[in-house]
Chain A
Amino acid sequence: GEDVEQSLFLSVREGDSSVINCTYTDSSSTYLYWYKQEPGAGLQLLTYIFSNMDMKQDQRLTVLLNKKDKHLSLRIADTQTGDSAIYFCAESFSGTYKYIFGTGTRLKVLA
């Protein structure tokens, strides 16, 4: 079945690295995504990775994909207070058009 799980909360100090984790059950996903949602706002696409890749780096963001363990992570280097938000991982599948989202991880950055 389709299920995406994330831890609920993460707190880090400004300047440290943040690592947000996600596990999923359906290994047939085509792409995996990270979205950011700030209070009262919609979802902002941060980055995504094709399912046959292991890693993708985009400025301060690094995505790691472990297909064997069905584990996706997002590392934010030099975390800033503006990074405080809820982060959602999501997956999409070939032949369907829906995305399956996790429940979100609330990141709090302490000054």
Chain B
Amino acid sequence: DAGVTQSPTHLIKTRGQQVTLRCSPKSGHDTVSWYQQALGQGPQFIFQYYEEEERQRGNFPDRFSGHQFPNYSSELNVNALLLGDSALYLCASTTPAREETQYFGPGTRLLVL
């Protein structure tokens, strides 16, 4: 039973560039959330996707956008990268029947220079 997978594992970009991160949810899960974890901090909620729609959004600017595909996988896009976007980006999946539990992937570490 595959858990949550994310790609790539590491990424280096420069300011102003755009980045796309990918996530495949745990088998049987149809809901994907994205979190940003800055160094030394807890994860911060970016948004959640369900049925290919953004269901809820945290306090992040419009430079952060996402997409969910029919197979439930998801992408996180960040435009006009800033140095402060350097962080570990975590994807978590769940299903409406068990929304009290979320399972996290290993994350993508993004460094913006």
Contacts and interface: CB of A to CB of B under 8 A. Distances in A.
B45 A104 contact: no
Contacts, number: 55
B33 A98 contact: yes
Interface stretch (B11-19, B64-72, B76-84, B95-103): B95-103
B45 to A, nearest CB: 4
A4 B41 CA distance: 12
Interface string B85-100: 0000010100000011
Contacts of B106: 41-42
Contact of B42 (A31, A48, A50, A88): A88
A92 interface: yes
Contacts of A30: 100
Contacts of B20: none
Interface residues of B, number: 25
A97 B42 contact: no
Contact of B56 (A4, A31, A43, A97): A97
A31 B55 contact: no
Nearest to A89: B42
B42 to A, nearest CB: 3
A42 B45 contact: no
16 contacts: A4-B42, A42-B6, A43-B43, A43-B92, A45-B102, A45-B104, A88-B43, A92-B100, A97-B31, A97-B56, A97-B99, A98-B58, A99-B43, A101-B44, A104-B40, A104-B41
Interface of A: 4, 30-31, 35, 41-45, 48, 50, 88, 90, 92, 96-104
Interface of B: 4, 6, 31, 33, 40-45, 48, 55-56, 58, 90, 92, 99-107
